[in-house]
Amino acid sequence: MASKKSSVRNLVQYRSLTDEEFDEVWSEKMLESEPSRNFEERIVKKLEAFSEDYDISDLKINDRETLRGLIQALLALEDYEQASYKLREEGITVGNLQLMEKVNKTMSDLRSDISKLQADLNITRKVRKADKEVSVISYIDSLKVKAREFYESRMSYVFCPKCNLLLGTFWCLFPNESKNKILLICNRDLGEGQICGERVTVTTKELIDNDGTNSKDIIPESML
């Protein structure tokens, strides 16, 4: 700030001024710039609020300009709402009725602009709700996939070694107990009145030791 003041001091129109006179001019300039500085600070705060709800780190230049326009419109609406409130506090009179109508018209136009800018940025309430619904659906679908994968990883598969038919899938609480035995009869119709009839006996421990199946040659590798 000091270097800027020094640069301005050296301008031709200020060289003839005394230090006291220039200080007075500089103070007036600072006061004139204060509203603009305050407005920029409000824009920064609103931008920070947006960044908490949306990822704005990779916005293109046109989207950044649109977002800035949206923030300015939001701030302007806040100011007009304050002005409208103050007018209502004073009471509706013939003198301020026309002014109130102009303020309300401006507020209505601002709300319309804000809605359009939100649509341009794809951050309308409808879009946010749709995104949220999609996220919930995706989350539920991912849970289903994980549940199925967990189920498949814990199940053991018993095939008929004679006709390769899957006879059953099993899960038990104590699979390492060697006394747990499974006996299955294959009733696959082989045609012409023939039934497979293969008897399959296997322990749960044998299934666990054999990667959850009695026949690695049949089961797909992705299920092992």
On whether the CB atoms of residues 155 and 170 are closer than 8 A, the answer is: yes
pTM over 0.75: no
Residue 93 has pLDDT above 80, yes or no: no
Longest dimension (CA), the chain: 120
Span 112-134, mean pLDDT? Answer: 71
Q: Does residue 58 or residue 3 have the better pLDDT?
A: 58
| CA dist list (Å): 6 to 9, 20, 25, 28, 196 | 5, 14, 13, 16, 102
Domain edges within the chain: 2-129, 156-223
List the single range of 42-51, 135-144, 210-219 with lowest mean pLDDT: 135-144
Nearest to 75 by CA among 101, 127, 105, 36: 36
pLDDT digits (tens, 9 = 90+) for 133-142: 666 667 777 7
* 195-216 confidence digits (pLDDT tens): 999 999 999 899 888 888 888 8
CB 192, CB 162: distance < 8 Å:
no
